[in-house]
Structure 1
Amino acid sequence: MAAKGDVDMADATAKTQDPNDYADLLQTNHSDAFAFSDTEELALQLYDQLKELELQQSLLQAQQSGTSRTWRILPLVTENDAVSMIHGSLTSKLASTNKSLSVAEQNNIVANQKNRELAQTMLALAEEMKAQSVQDIEDPQLRQRVDAVDKELKDSRRRVRTLKGILSAMIVGSGINWAADEGLTELVMEDEDD
C-alpha cells in the first residue's frame, strides 16, 4: 500500500540509443528516482543560489586583486617595452653594420685581385729589365754612369754584409741570450743574401 507522499516508481519506456550520443548515458531508466519534496527542492535551490553568490564574490575579489597586481606589473611591462625598442634599434644597426662589412669585404677582394694583377705586371716588367744588360745601352756616357752606380751598389752590399757579420759576432760574443729575443735572433740568423 502506498502512503501519502510516496511516489510510485514506474519504468520509463525504453528508447533506442544512438551510439554517438553520450547524453543518454546520464539518463536513468527510472526518471522519478530522484524525486524531491517541495521542502527539499527549496533547500536545493537556496543551496545553488548560495554557491552562485559565493562564486560571484570570488570572481569580484579576483578582479580587484588583479587590478592591484596590474599596477605592480605596469613598470615591468614599460621596461620590457623599452628594452624591446632598444633591442630592435640595435638589431637594425647590426644589420646595417653587417651589410657595410659585406660591401667592404667585397671591395677588399676586388682590390686584392687588382693588386695581384699589378704585381704580375711589375714582375713581368722587372724580368724585361733584367733581360737588358748594361751592354745594351748605346750611349757611352750613360753606360759609364750605370757601370759606376753598379760598382757602388756592389761595394755597398759588401760593406753591409761585413757590418752584419760584425754585429752578429758582437751579439753572440756578448753572452746575451739572443735566442730568446726575436729581434736579436733575426740579426744573428739573417741571411747574407738579404
Structure 2
Amino acid sequence: MEDLQQSLLPLLISSQTHHIGFAKLKSRNPRNPTQSTGGGGINGVNREQDLERSVLGDQELLLLALWDKLRDLGVKLEVVKAEASAESGEGGGEGQRIGGLSEKELQQQLIEATANLKLKEMMIEATLAGDPVLGAIYPKEDASGRQRSLLPLLSRRDLLSSTHAHLSSLLLHRQTSLTSLQTSTISLSLRNKELAAQILELSQQREKEKEIHKTGEYKKAEEAYKAAKRKWDVTSGVTRAIVVESGVDWARDEGLRVVVVGGMIR
C-alpha cells in the first residue's frame, strides 16, 4: 500500500501542470483502464476508446487506473483487518463493547467515516474534472489540442443534461397526470357503486309496487266476478221458477230443458 501511494504521488504532482480532461472514476474498469463500461456495442466502445485516447494521455490513463486500484486495495485492506480482528477474538457479540466503544458509538463512527470518504472522493473527482473543464471553456492562447477537443464533449454533455432535465420534467408531469387520473377513476368507481346500489333499491321498490298493484287489480276482478256470479244465480233461479210454474212441458223442449236442468245442476 505504501509503495503504491509513493508511486502515485509523483503522478499526482506532475498532473497539476496540465489538463487531464474528464475523470471517469465510477465507470472505469480497474483491470483495463482503456475499456469503457458504456453501451453501444463494439463500434461504440471503440469510438469511445479512441475519444478517450484523444483527450487523455497515457499518463492520465495510468493515473486513473492507479487511483481505482488504490481504492480497491483500500477496501480489501479494511476487509482483511476486520477478518483478522474477528479471528483474534477482539470483536464481541451483540450488545458487547468492541475496542472500548459500544455498538451505537461504532455505528456513529461508521457513518462519519463513510461521509468523510464520500466527501473526499467528491473533492478529488471535482479537482480532476474541474481544471480541464475550465480550461476547455476558457482556453488560453497556448492551449493544447487535447484541451480544445474537450469543448465539443462539454457541449454534448450540456445538451444531454438539458434533454434529460426536460424529459424528467415531462415524466414527472405525466406521472402527476396519471396519479390524478387514477384518483378520479377511483372516485368515479365509488360513485358508480353508489348509483348501482340506488338503482337496485329503486328496482326492488318498483317490483314491490307492481306486486301491490297486481294484488289490488286481482281483488277487484275477484269481487266483480263474485258479484256477477250472484247476479247470474239469481237470474237463472228466477227463470227456472218461471218456466216450471208456467206448466209448459219443458222436458220436451231442449232449450227449456237446458235452462231448468242446467241451472239446477250448476
Does the alignment reach a TM-score above 0.5? no
TM-score by length of 1: 0.37
Q: Which has the higher contact order (CA 8 A, sep 6+)?
A: 2
TM-score by length of 2: 0.28
